[in-house]
Amino acid sequence: MRTRTHRRRFGFSDPSAIMGFVENMILVVVVFLFAGAIAIPQVNPPPRDGIEKRQTTEPTPFYIEMRWADQLPHDLDLYITCYSLVNMQRTDPTVVFYNRKSSRWLNLLHDATGYPRSQRNVEEARVNSSVRTVPKNTVCLINTHIWSRHGGPLPVKGTVLAIANKDSPRQKTIVNLEFTIGQVGEECSLAQIVWDEKSDVLFDSVETYPNLPTQRIATVGAADNPPTCTPTKGCAS
């Protein structure tokens, strides 16, 4: 009888022992989950913003990046238009900007609108992942346009970077320059790039700011004739 009583008191047939065992198991699980919650962010920290989340090391035949100082409130926009030359005729128009982030083979990855709405003032575009080369005999024009300064000072400076075959052994910088925008509504052509019949960049044919006359994309057809950059003198004042 003493042996049976001892087993009932301390064995699993004792309700208090069962509850104690369950409580201990719950405590172990809670500690394990808490430790995992602390460890996971250290192993794989969350992206700082949408741009970092989209970053990839997958090679791309054409990459464009426009930046201006992160703490500036100005809203600059990247406009890119491309077309193919067939028998001296423009065909297959491709245009991307903040309101049209995907067009044919080109994607705009991010639209920055100035601090604090955007933590990083950078806009990026690249050939989409289903395309391995820029279409042959293609011409691309890269423009910038300032939508608003949101109280920020003018002029405002920015940079534009264009890379061929990014993140591949054949990577080569096409354009890397600084530009200046002088007034709200101004549009400026930053670079014009040409690819040959083998889909290779014709580096000798690249035209850049400030010597490249502005060809309107953002403000084409505007009734109020917004200001544009002027060759050799930069942006009009």
Q: pLDDT tens digits for 71-117?
A: 999 999 999 999 998 888 899 999 999 999 999 999 999 999 999 99
Interatomic CA distance for residues 154 and 44, integer angstroms: 40
From residue 191, alpha-carbon distances to 35, 48, 116, 140, 210 in Å are 52, 30, 29, 8, 9
Task: State phi, psi for 13 to the nearest 5 degrees.
Answer: -80, -10
Query: Using the 8-state DSSP alphabet, how is residue 97 labeled?
Result: B
Q: What are 143-152's pLDDT values in tens digits?
A: 999 999 999 9
Entry pTM = 0.75
